[in-house]
Amino acid sequence: MSESSSPIAQLSSDKSAWWRLVAVVVGGAGLGLAWQPYGVWPVLLVGIPLLLLAVHGQRPRRAFGLSYLFGLLLLTVTIGWIQVLGTWIAALLILFEALFFGLLGIALALISRLRLWPLWSAFAWTALEFAYSRVPFGGFGWVRLAYAAVDTPLAGFLPLIGVPGVSFLVALAAAVFAWAVLWLLRNGRAGLIRARRPAIAVLAGFVLVSAAGFGMRWLQFEPAAGDQGTVTVGVVQGNVPGKGMDAMGEARTVTSNHLSQTIELTAQWRLGQVPEPDFLLWPENSTDIDPMLDQTTRQVVQSAAQVAGKPILVGAVTRGPGPDERQTTGLWWDPQRGILASYQKRNLVPFGEWIPFREQLLPLVPILQEVGPQGVPGTRPGVMTVPIGDRTITVGDAVCFELAYDQTIYDTITNGAQVSMVQSNNATYGGTGQIEQQFAITRARALETRREIAVATTNSVSGFIDRDGTVVHRTQEFTADSFVVQLPLRSAVTPAVLLAPWLDRAMALIGLLAAVAGGVGLARFGRLRKTGEPEVRESVHS
């Protein structure tokens, strides 16, 4: 076979590697089931070990091919819902994102030659998540192990070490399991006898860590709920016409739907059927027409605020700051004084809200005109200090895609948010796995920050999540609905919010250094073989 043939072709032609191909196919597709809408989290301890075993001790080129195939299958299962934007968009994104897994495979293969390789492998996985959460164009950190682990005992560590730390723990547990399997395979029947004590120690460790994580779900970081007061929020899901890419096509209808549902909710609390809210939460894109510039839209929103007699946190698309530009904005709309505060979404969806290299790409790919004016990210944290009656509170706001970005969420807490809101428009992805995946990410954020979170979406899934990640209330897809929830005002900042950004960087650096160390060891071993010196056995130490 020629040196120019692809890694995957090389694997297919190697008869001794058939089980590695089977391992990455089963492992990649199977691991994808750990994320919502499937939520089969035990496969975390199957899919990851299969990849580790498949690339163990392999040459970098072969490890890249194996892991790239693993990534292709994993991402097809988890984020295949992107095909609603176009099959070619989904294909390009998956083909590109799988490259990160190919690089992970190289790192894992090099690391497998080191002592304590399960530990360094877990660091390498966190380096993978660090990279694809940032590169390119801000990254796409949707498929992180911590989001799949939200229903596991390890989720209890989220308020201490955050999403990066829990991803590390999941990867470490899986790597230890892979190490145990490899050790048994190498030592055969005698290994079963010798493995009793190590197996008991490992099992005891799993039990203790799981018990600790389970208990920490209820760990308190401040006085009991309500000691600093509460705020009551009316969440409005107005519904949209149509589904898929045409869901938001009738912009005025969407805004009118939210007015209608606001009127219905107002009638309910005036009849005593639900508690009276302090303010209302409308979702992202509850108006796609700038209410500050369009008279009709302004009248609809103002009518809703006046009918309710309450402020509304409105999700709007606003024009500017420059020509042919727009921003996704949260507007605090007071019924008497109009707009008192605003927040501009910081993390925009590439090719959904903005187009990288727009001037160069638009002539080549005319369909990108459908994106519309270029989205411009905001620069300030998502906090708004606003009056409610005779008091002032600080509201934290995250908009849809921003939930996947650690620092954006942490900034709302460190800048004084007392309550947490999420505004989202998932209308395009109705009926796909994206809906449940985003809700799981929101649950992880509730646990991580130890804050209750109210979620408003245009047509799915709005809800209320308790600070321990429990779903207290949720709506159905493709319906108009509304409900009222009470949130305690909180001021405590969890260790995760303060430490996770530094922990994330440190773990990524350790993973990179471990891969470099493995590469240096491999290069030295190669030189020894070429010079005819005595062969040094690989330092696998399994």
The better pLDDT of the pair 201, 106 is held by 106
Among residues 160, 125, 157, which one has the least CA distance to residue 144? 125
Residue 380 lies in a domain: yes
Q: Are residues 307 and 406 in the same domain?
A: yes
Q: Is a pLDDT exceeding 60 seen at residue 366?
A: yes
Supply the mean pLDDT for the chain.
89
Q: Cα separation of 162 and 88, whole Å?
A: 34
> What CATH number should be reported for the domain holding residue 468?
3.60.110.10
Q: Are residues 443 and 483 in the same domain?
A: yes
The better pLDDT of the pair 226, 251 is held by 251
393 burial level (CB within 10 Å; 0-12, 13-18, 19+) = buried
Q: Compute the average pLDDT of residues 450-462.
A: 95
Q: Is a pLDDT exceeding 90 seen at residue 3?
A: no
Q: Are residues 470 and 523 in the same domain?
A: no
Q: Cα separation of 481 and 369, whole Å?
A: 33
Q: Compute the average pLDDT of residues 519-530.
A: 68
Q: Are residues 407 and 300 in the same domain?
A: yes
11 pLDDT tier (thresholds 50, 70, 90): very low
Note the pLDDT of residue 193: 58
H-helix or E-strand spanning residue 328: strand 325-334
Q: What number of other Cβ atoms are within 10 A of residue 460's Cβ?
A: 27
Q: Is a pLDDT exceeding 90 seen at residue 316?
A: yes
Q: Are residues 450 and 526 in the same domain?
A: no
Residue 208 lies in a domain: no
Q: Is a pLDDT exceeding 70 seen at residue 223?
A: no
Residue 181 lies in a domain: no
Residue 149 lies in a domain: no
List the single range of 196-210, 232-246, 444-458 with lowest mean pLDDT: 196-210
Do residues 444 and 422 make contact, with C-beta atoms less than 8 angstroms apart? no
Q: Compute the average pLDDT of residues 479-494.
A: 95
Residues 6+ apart with CB under 8 A from 54: 20, 23, 24, 27, 66, 70
Q: Which long-range contacts (CB under 8 A, 24 or more apart) does 92-95 make?
A: 93/140
Q: Is a pLDDT exceeding 80 seen at residue 370?
A: no
The shares of helix, strand and coil residues in the chain, as percent rounded to the nearest 5, are 55, 15, 30
Q: Are residues 501 and 403 in the same domain?
A: no
Note the pLDDT of residue 199: 67
Q: What number of other Cβ atoms are within 10 A of residue 541's Cβ?
A: 10
85 pLDDT tier (thresholds 50, 70, 90): confident
Q: Are residues 518 and 441 in the same domain?
A: no
Note the pLDDT of residue 246: 57
Q: Transcribe 146-169 into DSSP letters.
A: HHHTTTSGGGGGHHHHHHHHHHHH
Q: Are residues 469 and 502 in the same domain?
A: no
145 burial level (CB within 10 Å; 0-12, 13-18, 19+) = buried
Note the pLDDT of residue 217: 72
Tens digits of residue pLDDT in 180-214: 888 877 776 555 556 666 667 777 777 888 788 87
Q: Is a pLDDT exceeding 90 seen at residue 334?
A: yes
Q: Cα separation of 107 and 130, whole Å?
A: 14
356 pLDDT tier (thresholds 50, 70, 90): confident
Q: Is a pLDDT exceeding 60 seen at residue 14?
A: no
Q: Are residues 131 and 258 in the same domain?
A: no
Q: Compute the average pLDDT of residues 467-494.
A: 95
Residue 1 lies in a domain: no
What b/e sequence results for 524-540 when a residue is b if at least 16 CB atoms lie within 10 Å of its CB, and e otherwise?
A: ebeeeeeeeeeeeeeee
Q: What is the domain range of residue 49?
A: 7-144+497-530
Q: Are residues 360 and 481 in the same domain?
A: yes
Tens digits of residue pLDDT in 153-185: 999 999 999 999 999 999 999 999 999 888 877
Structure-token match 């796409």, residue found: 140
Q: Are residues 481 and 503 in the same domain?
A: no
525 pLDDT tier (thresholds 50, 70, 90): low
Residue 319 lies in a domain: yes
Tens digits of residue pLDDT in 399-432: 999 999 999 999 999 999 999 999 999 888 999 9
91 burial level (CB within 10 Å; 0-12, 13-18, 19+) = middle
Note the pLDDT of residue 12: 46
Q: Which long-range contacts (CB under 8 A, 24 or more apart) does 330-339 make?
A: 330/284, 330/382, 330/384, 330/397, 330/399, 330/423, 331/291, 332/384, 332/386, 332/395, 333/301, 333/302, 333/305, 334/305, 334/387, 335/302, 335/305, 335/306, 335/308, 335/309, 335/310, 335/311, 338/302, 339/292
Residue 151 lies in a domain: no
Stated pTM of the model: 0.91
Counted domains in the chain: 2
Residue 460 lies in a domain: yes
Q: Are residues 439 and 403 in the same domain?
A: yes
